[in-house]
Amino acid sequence: MKPSANLLSPDNHALVLIDFEGQMAFATSNISLSELRTNVAIIAGASKIFNVATVVTTVAEESFSGPVFPEVEEFYPIATSGYIDRTTMNTWEDEHAYKAIVAKNKKKIVLAGLWTSVCIVGPALSALEEGYEVYIITDACGDVSNEAHERSVQRMIQAGAQPITSIQYLLELQRDWGRQETYVPVTDLMKKYGGSYGLGIHYAHNMLKH
């Protein structure tokens, strides 16, 4: 009856959202921007629902990369969340970002962002080397080509990172539909951003009154 220690729970990890900004998205081609934005909304919403320790970091927000996705700001408004802006491509090499992540005091770190081959590989390999367990939400990461994204994911897996997906992340946190305190927020999030799965939930709630 004991769940695997490899599973994510709301209180055993920190989520780091990296460089979800317009300039980084314009060149992303391995995933459509509409799908990427949807997946980002799912993981940002999930982390908010479950009160996950979350760090939002940007690169050259004012001078180059621009504002974060609306889907990030919906759940983590800049006025109250305090994004950490960097000049480093590797989040792990920025003193303020590094201290913010380490201060969460979590053994597991979950990463998502743009681009996979630079801004995700860097902190993933660095965190692994420091003894953290690293998870990559692969469908909430993007890069300039399929090749760049896939080779980067392979590299991180070979180094010990674990790949997951956005809906998997949400459902792994919920884990049990009997958890009524998060049932409605989770199903509402999926109705809005969950595509055909969310439409199925909408159908069931309305037609089956369940």
pLDDT in tens, 99-153: 999 999 999 999 999 999 999 999 999 999 999 999 999 999 999 999 999 999 9
Does residue 177 have a cis peptide bond before it, meaning omega lies within 30 degrees of 0? no
Q: Which amino acid is at 68?
A: V
DSSP state for residue 59 in the 8-state scheme: E
Contact 51, 76 (CB under 8 A): no
39 located within any domain: yes
pLDDT in tens, 70-97: 999 999 998 888 899 999 999 999 999 9
72 located within any domain: yes
Contact 157, 33 (CB under 8 A): no
Q: Which residues are catalytic?
A: 119
188 located within any domain: yes
5 located within any domain: no
pTM, two decimal places: 0.95
Same domain membership, residue 187 and residue 132: no
